[in-house]
Chain A
Amino acid sequence: MTVPILEAFVFATVLCGFFGLILKKSLVMKIIAMDVMSTGVIAYYVLIAGRLGFFAPIAKGPDATVANGTFADPVPQAVILTAIVIGFSIQALMLVGVMKLARDNPTLETDAIERSYRP
């Protein structure tokens, strides 16, 4: 019952981030919007992992089979961990680029930067 509601919240987060990317003028705000969007995507993977149960998928002794079916799915978690690391490193790289640009364009407004660097 609650899963569709959670799913709706997750997609709302993704869309908020996406609209932020379009509507925010400053480059730093755009990067933050992208982070919001990726948070939504990560939450979606966690939601999918928790479809069958919420227990950490660690088998403890012979009772492991008792809880069968209530474990969280480990695969999406493992996958999204990789994606988090990649997304984090890309954002770090972008922030370094923005810092370099900030020297010549202190306001970091996308329109102004785009106008000055158009070939």
Chain B
Amino acid sequence: MTELMPILAIAWAAFPFFVGFSIYLLPKLDRFLGLVVMLTSVAFAGLIFWQRSPQTFQLLDSFGVTLTVDTLGGFFILTNALVSLAVLLYCWRSDKTSFFYTQLILLHGSVNAAFLCADFISLYVALEVLSIASFLLVTYSRSPRSIWVGLRYLFISNTAMLFYLVGTALVYKATHSFQFQGLGEAPPEATALIFLGLLVKGGIFVSGLWLPQTHSQAESPVSAMLSGVVVKTAVLALVRCALLVPAVDPIVRLAGVGTALMGVSYAVFEKDSKRMLAFHTVSQLGFVLAAPPVAGFYALTHGLVKASLFLVAGSLPSRSFKELNKKPIAFSLWSLGAIAAFSISGLPLLAGFGAKTLTIKALLPWQEIAMNIAAVGTAISFAKFIFLPKSTDIKAPGKLKTLLPAMVILLGGLVVGNVVYPKAYALDSTLKSLVTIAIGWGIYWGVIKKVTLKLPRGAERLEHLIGVMSLSAIALSLLALYFIPQGGLTP
């Protein structure tokens, strides 16, 4: 089995692209081919967990492609497989054309490739293919507004990737290889530039302010894909760098803390459901980054929760919480959203609790206070979903039928996910999470519900987003010069 792994991994990574393009020849089979691709990914993730031995293989020489198969990546691959499967089932009976399914499968394939590779150039190719596929999905409706949102996304991600390429060139200059390990021997500028690209691409901290508009303007199934898995490609690369090169670990952890606090403080005051979820992605990625060794499990639970909440939000009668609070919604719809919201707030019995406990235990002392505040903020912002008025008398909307199969997969994953870390159910951590949620809900009822605060959106303008990139570059350079020991500019 071990010898077969390289061939299996390559075949699995290439499979979605073959299938995706053959849909043009067999447009009638689009959804079924998609189902085959997603199920193959579930099986491959299963294989990784069954094998458990991490493997890295190099194709060609030191400058060739490097692939890594390990359980950390396995969690991310499983997230991608489950979320894509749920999105596919959600769209099964809609009138989407085969073009949509082609792009969905290509997006799935490029995300898989990004999770598999362990060198900067393969990652670059995967990230760029992924941004093209995301652009085509965001602009699927062809309305001028969606085209503008898509263009804005391409501008920002392409500019960031150009900086990333310069950083990659510096790594090659220093080590004659593109592997992630090379970051340790490369000059600090390389780290700064590569991290700038990855932070923007991953939607982290101030460089991630492009994310709320893109994710909230897309259609719900597309938002679920973008927020659930697509941003995690850059996050996994950052996590892998932090694990391979201890010198950059503090930078990654710091970015995690910063984005967790920034995202949650926007999310708490947001009045639009989809924008709130998108800001929350910015915040939750911080939890994934804050503790690199245990990033996989948190990414899995976040992906499942965020995808299910976006799908539920798409079925709600309105996007504004103010409107939703006026009229009760169907109990069945509410319960689906509430299970996901309970999980992300860290309520015991759901996988989100295990993931949060695992992450908080793996934090360094200086991170703990900030991350606990972020956890309270999470509880506050999801109280908006949990305390929506509901009633059993109202008939569920017709969309519930299309929603159900997708939710069975996502929420089922949250229940089954408990087996990953059963040790979380100790008395102290259970109590701690309950207290966190109680404080959060208390603040929601006491303060947030009465306050209307409109945060300025100026920072989300295209020019400001690109300008902020240069500020991030300066900040990252300073951090890199401080944390990377050999220091100094390249001779």
Known: A14-B166, A101-B147. A21 touches B63 (CB 8 A): no
Q: For the complex, is A26 an interface residue (Cβ under 8 Å from B)?
A: no
Q: Which of B49-57, B287-295, B367-375, B458-466 contacts A (4 or more CB under 8 A)?
A: B458-466
Contact indicator B154/A48 (Cβ below 8 Å): no
Known: A90-B132, A100-B144. A27 touches B151 (CB 8 A): yes
CA distance A44 to B168 in the complex (A): 11
Interfacial chain B residues near A119, Cβ < 8 Å: 213, 216-217, 272
Q: For the complex, is A22 an interface residue (Cβ under 8 Å from B)?
A: yes
Contact indicator A79/B151 (Cβ below 8 Å): no
Q: For the complex, is B162 an interface residue (Cβ under 8 Å from A)?
A: yes
Q: Is the interface of B mostly helix, strand, loop or mixed?
A: helix
Known: A30-B155, A76-B169, A114-B461. A86 touches B125 (CB 8 A): yes
Q: Which of B243-266 contact A (CB under 8 A)?
A: none
Q: Chain A 88-119 against B: per-residue CB contact (8 Å), 1 yes, 0 no?
A: 01100110011011011100001001100111
Tell me the minimal C-beta distance from B256 to chain A in angstroms: 27
- Which of B147, B176, B178 meets A97, CB within 8 Å? B147
Contact indicator A90/B158 (Cβ below 8 Å): yes
Contact indicator A82/B173 (Cβ below 8 Å): no
Q: Chain B 272-302 against A: per-residue CB contact (8 Å), 1 yes, 0 no?
A: 1000000000000000000000000000000
Interfacial chain A residues near B74, Cβ < 8 Å: none
Q: For the complex, is A71 an interface residue (Cβ under 8 Å from B)?
A: no
Interfacial chain A residues near B142, Cβ < 8 Å: 100
Chain A's closest residue to B176 (CB) is A75
CA distance A117 to B124 in the complex (A): 31
Contact indicator A21/B466 (Cβ below 8 Å): yes
How many contacts A-B (CB < 8 Å)? 93
Contact indicator B173/A34 (Cβ below 8 Å): no
- Which of B148, B173, B217, B462 meets A101, CB within 8 Å? B148
Interfacial chain A residues near B187, Cβ < 8 Å: none
Q: For the complex, is B335 an interface residue (Cβ under 8 Å from A)?
A: no
Interfacial chain A residues near B172, Cβ < 8 Å: 48, 75-76, 79
Interfacial chain A residues near B166, Cβ < 8 Å: 14, 41, 44
Interfacial chain B residues near A18, Cβ < 8 Å: 159, 466, 470
Interfacial chain A residues near B45, Cβ < 8 Å: none
Known: A14-B166, A101-B148. A48 touches B121 (CB 8 A): no
Contact indicator A90/B169 (Cβ below 8 Å): no
CA distance A97 to B466 in the complex (A): 19
Contact indicator A41/B165 (Cβ below 8 Å): yes
Interfacial chain A residues near B389, Cβ < 8 Å: none
Q: For the complex, is B317 an interface residue (Cβ under 8 Å from A)?
A: no
Q: For the complex, is B139 an interface residue (Cβ under 8 Å from A)?
A: yes
CA distance A83 to B172 in the complex (A): 15
Tell me the minimal C-beta distance from A6 to chain B in angstroms: 14
Q: For the complex, is B203 an interface residue (Cβ under 8 Å from A)?
A: no
Interfacial chain B residues near A117, Cβ < 8 Å: 144-145, 148-149
Chain B's closest residue to A38 (CB) is B162
Interfacial chain A residues near B128, Cβ < 8 Å: 86, 90
Known: A79-B121, A82-B121. A93 touches B154 (CB 8 A): yes
CA distance A86 to B129 in the complex (A): 8
Q: For the complex, is A37 an interface residue (Cβ under 8 Å from B)?
A: yes
- Which of A34, A82, A97 meets B159, CB within 8 Å? A34
Contact indicator B169/A97 (Cβ below 8 Å): no
Chain B's closest residue to A27 (CB) is B151
Interfacial chain B residues near A38, Cβ < 8 Å: 162
Interfacial chain A residues near B178, Cβ < 8 Å: 79
Interfacial chain A residues near B169, Cβ < 8 Å: 41, 44-45, 48, 76
Interfacial chain A residues near B228, Cβ < 8 Å: none
CA distance A48 to B272 in the complex (A): 49
Q: Which of B94-119 contact A (CB under 8 A)?
A: none
Q: Chain B CB within 10 Å — which of A37, A51, A103 has the most? A: A37
Interfacial chain A residues near B314, Cβ < 8 Å: none
- Which of B125, B135, B149, B462 meets A93, CB within 8 Å? B135
Interfacial chain B residues near A82, Cβ < 8 Å: 121, 125
Known: A22-B463, A45-B169. A100 touches B159 (CB 8 A): no
Interfacial chain B residues near A94, Cβ < 8 Å: 151, 154-155, 158
Task: Give A residues with C-beta under 8 Å from B.
Answer: 14, 18, 21-22, 27, 30, 34, 37-38, 41, 44-45, 48, 51, 75-76, 79, 82-83, 86-87, 89-90, 93-94, 97-98, 100-101, 103-105, 110, 113-114, 117-119
Q: Please, could you name 22 A-B residue pairs with CB atoms under 8 Å apart, sorted by A?
A: A14-B162, A18-B159, A18-B470, A21-B159, A30-B155, A34-B158, A34-B159, A34-B162, A44-B166, A44-B169, A45-B169, A48-B169, A48-B172, A48-B173, A79-B121, A82-B121, A97-B151, A100-B147, A114-B148, A117-B145, A119-B216, A119-B217
Task: Give B residues with C-beta under 8 Å from A.
Answer: 63, 121, 124-125, 128-129, 131-132, 135, 139, 142, 144-145, 147-151, 154-155, 158-159, 162, 165-166, 169, 172-173, 176, 178, 213, 216-217, 272, 457, 461-463, 466-467, 470
Given contacts A48-B169, A119-B272, 20 further A-B pairs with CB under 8 A are: A14-B162, A21-B466, A22-B466, A27-B151, A34-B155, A41-B165, A45-B165, A48-B173, A75-B63, A75-B176, A79-B121, A79-B178, A90-B128, A93-B154, A94-B154, A97-B150, A100-B147, A101-B148, A117-B149, A118-B457
The 8 closest A-B pairs by CB, nearest first: A117-B145, A86-B128, A75-B63, A97-B151, A117-B148, A41-B165, A97-B147, A41-B162
